[in-house]
Amino acid sequence: MAEAKVSKVDSTVSTVKLEEISDDEGQNKTRIFCQRCPSLVLSSKQAKLIKKEFFLPNMFQKNDHAPLEGVTLNDFWLVTNMMTFDNVGFSKAVDNIMYLICADCEMGPIGWHSVDNKKAYYIAVDRVKHG
Ligand SMILES: [Zn+2]
């Protein structure tokens, strides 16, 4: 008798497999794109996978109000130099946090940056497309 396989899907767990998008050193194997348009955010091997808890509001367009609802994400690509990005936009700083948005379609946040740390830009693994 065949056993039914029940795969547990935890909604807090990333939908992408981290080992498929990062190499042995934790760098991004693939290029990183906007989820909504073909805009290239990062080339491969430019960021490092890190674990960090951070709350991001749900995606919205730049000129809309930031939704109060959001999600706490744990997996981010860390970029240490702003010049590393191929394309990225920023929202206005609120409480010293700027959201990273797509430079072309202006959807975001795809990540965040604290104005207190000029060497840390975080891209949420769940908010971008890898390939
Ligand atoms: Zn876009």
3-class state of residue 125 by DSSP = helix
Confirm if 41 and 88 have CB atoms less than 8 A apart: yes
- How would residue 106 be classed by pLDDT, with cut points 50, 70 and 90? very high
By 3-state DSSP, what share of the chain in percent is helix, strand and coil, each rounded to 5? 10, 40, 55
65 CA from centroid of ligand 1 (Å): 18
Range of the domain at 103: 18-130
40 CA from centroid of ligand 1 (Å): 8
pLDDT tens by residue, 73-103? 999 999 999 999 999 999 988 899 999 999 9
3 CA from centroid of ligand 1 (Å): 43
Is residue 53 a part of any domain in this protein?
yes
Q: Count Cβ atoms below 10 Å from residue 50 Cβ, excluding itself.
A: 14
CATH number of the domain that residue 48 is part of: 2.170.150.10
pTM: 0.86
CA distance 7 to 131: 25
Is residue 104 a part of any domain in this protein?
yes
Is residue 12 a part of any domain in this protein?
no
CA distance 28 to 101: 19
Is residue 3 a part of any domain in this protein?
no
88 CA from centroid of ligand 1 (Å): 9
Number of domains present in the structure of the chain = 1
